Amino acid sequence: MHPDTPEPMAEAVISLANLRHNARLVRKKAGVPLMAVVKANAYGHGATEVARALEEEGVSHFGVANIREALELRRGGGLEPSASVLAFSSPLPSQIPHYLEHDIEMTLCGISNLRAAEESASAAGRTIGVQLKVDTGMGRLGLPPEEALQVLCELPRCPHVELRGIYTHFADSTGERAFTRRQLEAFTAFCREYEHASGRTVLKHAANSGAILSEPGATLDMVRPGILLYGARPSAESEETLGLRPVMQLEARVVFLKTVRAGTTISYGRTWSAPGTRRIATIAAGYADGYHRALSGRGTVAINGRPYPQVGTVTMDQIMVDLGEESDVRIGDRAVLFGAGGMSVDQLADRAGTISYELLCAVSGRVKRVFR
């Protein structure tokens, strides 16, 4: 009797135990509450399951990219109603009613933003929670401090808008520390000025994963870890690892084996030829699954605990590996493309000339997530 669903060719095995372990280490390092960054499907790990596990560890603030991700988390995450969900992107006016209906915190980026929020909230007879984004040097979203202060001065005229936080984002928290400190100084000065003038305190946060490791003074009231939660480094320059554990292991099945003679070429462009008689394994994962084409001839996979070089050009659906002259590898064996027992995602990213964030986010929807 065959199963109703065919066995998956590729799986991303997600260790929720390692995720919880990492969250505890990051919280201990920072000494303040966490806003867990679960955007982009929790960096490819599965936002619903990740958020639920982190909530069990006491995390009550979550950050996502936009309103669509926020709604997916609210509707499918099983989060407590009291959990805070902040959408980092500046919204379109037409999206604001969804923030109200599902209690999603909106990023406030300007006067027009504020007025649209007040108009929607007033019409609905509700209050909308917002967090002001101050641009101190990233140049992506938010207002420079002097313009951000004008927005705050407008707030008393918007009774249906509740300011729940002020935040900024560092442009180079793992590299040019002097610039990061200038950003931090500008942000904290802005917050002091507002709190003094308004007579109230407000939730302040700035530190991403890189700053959690490198800038102790940036922790403020809360930190926003992303990549650290998933057990990878913020950058190749990051020396401190905290004892983090990788959360994702990307695996795929061996689906074909053959013996080739010396001189036989493999894959598109004929970029690799066998130096002698070789056993070649075809593995059912390619760039459509998240194994980057830039890794062609640069990666190593582990099968039954042994490393083997990936050879030839990475194709859309498969890669090939050189098993040597003889091998006991069989069809159906699992190959670890990255993760425990194979190359780390950081090592693989270095070889691809990119960052671990990109490799993790690239693991596509046709790769089954398995939570353990």
With H, G, I as helix, E, B as strand and everything else as coil, classify residue 203.
coil
CA separation for the pair 36, 19 (Å, rounded)? 11
Where residue 281 sits, what CATH number does that domain have? 2.40.37.10
- Co-location of 36 and 113 in the same domain: yes
CA separation for the pair 332, 284 (Å, rounded)? 10
- Co-location of 206 and 321 in the same domain: no
Domain boundary residue, one of 230, 263, 289 = 230
**E strand intervals along the chain:** 10-14, 35-37, 61-64, 84-87, 105-108, 128-133, 161-167, 204-205, 248-260, 265-266, 272-273, 278-283, 300-303, 306-311, 319-322, 334-338, 368-371
- For residue 193, being part of any structural domain is answered with yes
* Full domain range(s) for residue 179: 32-230
- Co-location of 50 and 190 in the same domain: yes
How far is residue 251 from each of residues 17, 52, 96, 365, measured CA to CA in Å?
19, 24, 40, 14
- For residue 3, being part of any structural domain is answered with no
- Co-location of 225 and 107 in the same domain: yes
- Co-location of 118 and 52 in the same domain: yes
Residue type, 111: I
State the pLDDT at residue 343.
96
- Co-location of 257 and 223 in the same domain: no
- Co-location of 220 and 256 in the same domain: no
- In tens digits, the chain (372 residues) has pLDDT values of 567 889 999 999 999 999 999 999 999 999 999 999 999 999 999 999 999 999 999 999 999 999 999 999 999 877 999 999 999 999 999 999 999 999 999 999 999 999 999 999 999 999 999 999 999 999 999 999 999 999 999 999 999 999 999 999 999 988 778 999 999 999 999 999 999 999 999 999 999 999 999 999 999 999 999 999 999 999 876 667 799 999 999 999 999 999 999 999 999 999 999 999 999 999 999 999 999 999 999 999 999 999 999 999 999 999 999 999 999 999 999 999 999 889 999 999 999 999 999 999 999 999 999 999
- Co-location of 174 and 267 in the same domain: no
Residue type, 243: G
CA separation for the pair 16, 90 (Å, rounded)? 31
- Co-location of 166 and 309 in the same domain: no
- Co-location of 37 and 152 in the same domain: yes
Please enumerate in sequence order all residues whose Cβ is within 8 A of that of 56, keeping only pairs 6 or more positions apart, or say none: 20
What pTM, to 2 d.p., does this model score?
Answer: 0.95
* Residue 11 bridge partners (DSSP): 251, 368
Dihedral-angle region of residue 44 (phi above 0 means left; psi in -120 to 50 means alpha; beta otherwise): left
Contact predicate 353/294, CB 8 Å: yes
State the pLDDT at residue 238.
67
What residues act catalytically?
39, 268
- Domains: count for the chain: 2
- For residue 11, being part of any structural domain is answered with no
Question: Which residue carries 């406030």 as its tokens?
Answer: 108
- Co-location of 217 and 266 in the same domain: no
Candidates 327, 278, 365; CA nearest to 12 is 365
- Co-location of 59 and 108 in the same domain: yes
Domain boundary residue, one of 183, 201, 230 = 230
- For residue 26, being part of any structural domain is answered with no
Where residue 168 sits, what CATH number does that domain have? 3.20.20.10
